[in-house]
Amino acid sequence: MISQHRLRRRVQFYETDTAGVVHFSWYFRYMEEAEHALWREAGLSIHPPHGDIVWPRVSASFDFQRPLRFEQEFDVVIRIAEITARTIRYTSTLSDGDTIFATGSITAACAQKADGRMKAADIPPDILACFEVARG
């Protein structure tokens, strides 16, 4: 069972503004990239072809401590903070060693696609069996 994943990244030029500082919207993309890597590590895809389960975001936030800059390397650590019958809440830290750039959280709800609509659904047991809440 998987509870967290660490992803090493380097800031690309197109992720920055004219001052070379990462635009705030990229922090959410970094967290989502780590989330997808966590799912792959568990042997799953968050969006498998022909799948009928989707994961809309119902909450997302970031608190920023220091700016990330062009060509800076950093780690994105994502942890499963909570699992309910229908949601997974992740927390994330973007850092390099002891330097924390930002901390964030995202909650994804499990939904089933049918007739072009989404309806809340329980997380399938085969998915639940792959994940656990991070300890500590």
pLDDT digit string, tens, across residues 3-39:
999 999 999 999 999 999 999 999 999 999 999 999 9
What digits encode the pLDDT tens for the residues 70-125? Answer: 999 999 999 999 999 999 999 999 999 999 999 999 999 999 998 889 999 999 99
**CA pair distance 87, 58, nearest whole angstrom:** 9
Q: Which helix (H) or strand (E) holds 101?
A: strand 99-109
The DSSP 8-state label assigned to residue 68 in this structure reads -
Q: Domains for the chain: give ranges and CATH numbers.
A: 4-128 (3.10.129.10)
Phi-psi sector, 32: left (phi>0), alpha (psi -120 to 50), beta: alpha
State how beta strands 4-10 and 111-114 pair: unpaired
